[in-house]
Amino acid sequence: MAHNHHFHADSGTHLDHGQGNGHGHEISHLPELDRRSLLLGAGAVASLGLLSMLARPAAAHAATTGVTKLPGFDAFASSVKVMRSGKYYLVESSGLPSHNMMVGIKSWQQQVPNAQSYTGTRAWSIPATPVMSKAPMSAKNHFLRGAIALAVNGVPIFNALNNRGDDAYLSGELDNWGGHCGRADDYHYHVAPLHLQSIVGRTSPIAYALDGYPIYGTTEPDGSAVVGLDEFNGHFDKKKKYHYHGTSTYPYINGGFKGVVSEVEGQVSPQPSANPYRDGGEPLRGAVVTNFVQTGPTAYDLTYALNGGNYHVRYATSGNEMSVDYVDPQGAIRHEVYTRRNR
């Protein structure tokens, strides 16, 4: 049967591929070993798909004491800025990594990555001196919205469980680097970015949980094997200092918070929000993202396969505008322009 394509009249929506309402879609579970192999091997793949031109952070937060160093972040000093302000480290970034994105997603909601303004009063806050909580909180039934950690390349890390409580990795929602885009076209990880360990080295964290405790890779800083992790994927070292580890099995990252955090409306507070250009998309059943290339300083071309055809989402941002060409397999183009919204 021929596959018909209809465009929504509403400029805030995406290509309609004849799918039903996405809220009731089924998620197929992928072979766990194959997806995990992709994640663990992403460091080698990433070098083949570097995005050379990233949005740079704006001016530093006005109340800070200046740029400082925090282990791990210094490897990305050209695109991530760390400052100290009172009891917090403030981290500014665009939220975009230097590795490629999106390729490998098999459960896609028609979102694409855009730079975010995580700067100034919208910078990420990490406690400089973590405080152990008397009542640690699990991520199994808390923090299903927003970030729970920040990778040292400036990319937020969300709960391993999506907002429906499903494992985002096993559901096929993540790319070969463990990330995807939210409904504001904001890129973030849902698993530990283990590929960063090959960049920062085993002695530096690959991320920091938002309670302030560092997250190391698959080995201890001294190179020894990781043993005795608790339900939060963490433990105390020989000096009685607590830290988390990234793993290739659930919870992948910090499975909650051993340290003190504040939960407001299902997420850690405070944390910056992403600003969308367009309405969130619906799940596109059967679509597989096969390619993603940067075509200009803020321009990209995402390719996805569906029912034997290749579709493109070609877009560029300039100031508060996002220009998008939705291209079907026959070359027909629907052009849309969206205006960024602050929230």
**Nearest 5 degrees, angle CA 48-CA 49-CA 53?**
130
Question: What per-residue confidence (pLDDT) applies to 263?
Answer: 97
The Cα 116–Cα 275 span in angstroms is 7
107-131: pLDDT as tens digits: 999 999 999 999 999 999 999 999 9
211-257: pLDDT as tens digits: 999 999 999 999 999 999 999 999 999 999 999 999 999 999 999 99
Cβ(198)–Cβ(219) below 8 Å:
no
3-class SS of residue 49: coil
Residue for token digits 């805030």?
12
Looking at the DSSP bridge assignments, the partners of residue 216 are 245
Share of the chain above pLDDT 70, in %: 81
80-95: pLDDT as tens digits: 999 999 999 999 999 9
The Cα 40–Cα 92 span in angstroms is 27
Of all residues in the chain, what percent are helix, strand and coil, respectively (each to 5)?
10, 30, 60
236: which 2 tokens?
A: 């105390």
The domain ranges of the chain are: 20-277
The Cα 67–Cα 142 span in angstroms is 33
302-330: pLDDT as tens digits: 999 999 999 999 999 999 999 999 999 99
Instruction: Measure the CA dihedral 208/209/210/211, to 10°.
Output: -110
Which of 256, 232, 257, 258 lies closest to 245, judged by CA?
232
Instruction: Measure the CA dihedral 235/218/247/128, to 10°.
Output: 50
pTM: 0.83
Looking at residues 139-161, what average pLDDT do you find?
97
Strands across the sheet containing 88-92: 81-85, 88-92, 124-127
Our measurement of the distance from residue 251's CA atom to the centroid of its chain's CA atoms, rounded to an integer in Å, reads 16
The Cα 180–Cα 113 span in angstroms is 8
CA distances from 267 to 50, 153, 181, 189, 213 (A): 31, 21, 17, 16, 17
**Nearest 5 degrees, angle CA 6-CA 274-CA 103?**
55
Share of the chain above pLDDT 90, in %: 78
3-class SS of residue 300: strand
Decide if pLDDT at 6 tops 60: no
Looking at the DSSP bridge assignments, the partners of residue 305 are 288, 310
| Rg of the chain, C-alpha, whole Å | 20
The Cα 47–Cα 249 span in angstroms is 24
Q: Which has more pLDDT, 3 or 108?
A: 108
The Cα 109–Cα 93 span in angstroms is 24
The Cα 310–Cα 228 span in angstroms is 47
